[in-house]
Amino acid sequence: MTTIRQRRVGKGTEADDDQPSEEKNLKPDGKILSGHTGGKLWNILSITVGGIVAISLGLLTSVYVATLHENDLWFSNIKEVEREISFRTECGLYYSYYKQMIQAASIQQGIVNCKQYLEPVYFYIYTLFGLQAVYVIALYVTSWLLSGTWLSGLLAACWYITNRIDTTRVEFTIPLRENWALPFFAVQIAAITYLLRTHLQPVQERLTLMAVFIATFLFSLTWQFNQFMMLIQALALFILDCFDMLPTAKVMWLYIIQISGLLLVCVLQFFNSMILGSLLISFNASVLVARTIQKNLKKGGLLNRLGKLILHVLLVLCLTLLINKLIKKILNLESDEHIFKFLKAKFGFGATRDFDANLYLCEEAFGLLPLNTFSRLSDTLLFYVYIFVLFFMTVAAVIIAFWNLSGSNQVQFMEKMEECTVTLKPDAAYNLIHTILFGCLALSTMRMKYLWTSHMCVFASFGLCSTEVWKLTLKCIHLYTSQRTRVIKYSVPVMTLLYISYKFWPGITDELSELREFYDPDTVELMNWIKSNTPNTAVFAGSMQLLAGVKLCTGRTLTNHPHYEDKNLRERTKQVYQIYAKRSPEDVYRILRSFGTDYVILEDSICYERRHSRGCRLRDLLDIANGHIMDGLGENEPDLKPSLYPRFCEEIKKNLPPYTIHFTRVFQNKTFHVYKLAKHK
């Protein structure tokens, strides 16, 4: 809760004469042609200026989000407990491990003590804000690599900043794992984009593969959803390889890097079973096996290749399912079953009463992408430009894929299609399929939009500064000349930047001047009471979100927390949540004591929840899972029955004997009620 202060994120072909000036005097391997001293100096100057602009924009973005965070909470002026409470839900859990580490005596003895220079909490949040600089620089570089001009990178960074609401949420969910991971994912995409360029020297290729591996490893290490994101990435590589639009050898290396990165993370995470049972490992292994079995996949006529391609896809699909099922059966893995139940129900393959799946289905973040997202993206012209570029690039990709499959001579094809189409380089082809697949993911699941919108900035800016896109556009309307293409590819981005600056700079300055202050006295009072009135060994039960804060602020032991990728922990959470179901006091007491609970915290905001509609309130999900009729007016499924008991969280407040024999209220304010459990012999 906050209150206003009164004081106020096809195969490449040789370059033509319309190349950007940065590349025009370069050999295919990137070296300067001899005898072009002026071009060499120009390239050095351009790269230097572009690099300075990239670093400057990255640092400015870090300062921008850090200032927004400070202004929203008055973070520098509030108490330590209030700072920790501001890390809501699972954010508090993640930060608690950092706090636990820096307070450990062995760690303090092993590192230089930096507390005299910077408070630990500031070291933590500034590290994350610093990663935003890495994120923006990676987006900038990717766009620059694709278009050949750093003007494209500048536009990508500006779009990322002006669309901050839809590109990042780092300033108000700082410790979330995605905020650690996405900068490394952006670096990985930049490295892949460079790797897929033609005519790389062997040393350049090896160094780039190493960069891809490091970025993949760090991305996998920092986010629990990494395997699903990289599965989509692997699908993009698979599609492009099938249509002969990427070099097969490089694609195989990328598959191997993904598997290696995940397996290394598995080892470092004490053999995390969820990683071993991931679809990504099964899929990549299946592709590698299938490519070994099927020879001459890219030879023959159109019908011949289509037949081979269909068999290849079926073989990979069957092998993936078989390998995945075998791994899960052998290792008895069930860590991710709730995700597949959620996906099955989400896409209409049958309703479910599974508590965990419904918990996801009822959250807005896991619903469809709201339509107002597109209106916001359109205000900055980003969405309009993106659709324009996407259309032309998709048309080019379809034409080139068809000709690749038909086995037509590439040179004859380019000569024949010179007047109406455009070449599609491997790096551009990859980014095209990447943005399409992640766009589909974002449309289906709002929480994943940040993977799409940031890349949307890259893709749109690349297209707006692309010689190929403007060449195709002008040829289609019979207005093409080399000089006109060059003028348009620079003037349109500059005008777009001027428009963005004119329209959004006043709003940014107003945003930076708006001052607020953190205000949550009930939670502060609860945490202070726990620290002062309960033993350090006390065990607390309650909602996942609140208990994360309890662990962070007080260091007490918990019965459950928001790490939801473990089946046993999910089942334990469901059992603890019976405090909000229609269960007898004896049942609730028995469940809580089985987990060693000393205190249970009840929240009125959950017990009397109105945020969700009927059927999606936590108490409704518990009623459905328990086979009970839901509260309130409305329909119930025919087989649901009335419960024999009233709702526990409501009835316990009446201090009736069946409850007081097991539970004693020891703390109460407007939001929370804490009960101590009796220890019966």
pLDDT in tens, 155-209: 999 999 999 999 999 988 999 999 999 999 999 999 999 999 988 999 999 999 9
Condensed to tens digits (0 to 9), the pLDDT of residues 433-478 reads: 999 999 999 999 999 999 999 999 999 999 999 998 898 888 888 8
**Angle, CA of 552, 557 and 558, to the nearest 5°:** 85
Is residue 483 left, alpha or beta, with left meaning phi > 0 and alpha meaning psi from -120 to 50? alpha
Residues 197, 199, 201, 204, Cα dihedral to 10°: -10
Cα–Cα dist 146/164, whole Å: 23
Of 104 and 604, the structure prediction assigns the larger pLDDT to: 604
Confidence of residue 25 (pLDDT cuts 50, 70, 90): very low
The two structure tokens encoding residue 392: 């032309």
Contacts of 192 (CB under 8 A, 6+ apart): 212, 254, 430
pLDDT band at 59 (very low <50, low <70, confident <90, very high): very high
pLDDT digits (tens, 9 = 90+) for 367-411: 999 999 999 999 999 999 999 999 999 999 998 998 888 875 555
Q: What residue has token string 């690749």?
A: 404
For residue 94, which of 548, 540, 565 has the smallest C-alpha distance? Answer: 548
How close are the terminal C-alpha atoms of the chain, in Å?
Answer: 42
Closest CA to 519 of 79, 8, 32: 79
**Which one has a higher pLDDT value, 8 or 363?**
363
SS (H, E, C) 49-70: HHHHHHHHHHHHHHHHHHHHHH
- pLDDT > 50? residue 302: yes
Q: What's the rounded Cα separation, in Å, for the pair 273 and 107?
A: 28
Q: Would you state the structure tokens that stand for residue 78, as one six-digit string?
A: 């509030």
In the chain, the percentage of residues whose pLDDT exceeds 90 is 69
Polymer length in residues for the chain: 681
**Which of these, 262, 265, 254, 263, lies nearest to 287 by C-alpha position?**
254
Query: What contacts 296, CB < 8 A, 6 or more positions away?
Result: 308
The chain-wide mean pLDDT, for the chain, equals: 88
Beta bridge partners of 664: 676
CB 422 within 8 A of CB 396: yes
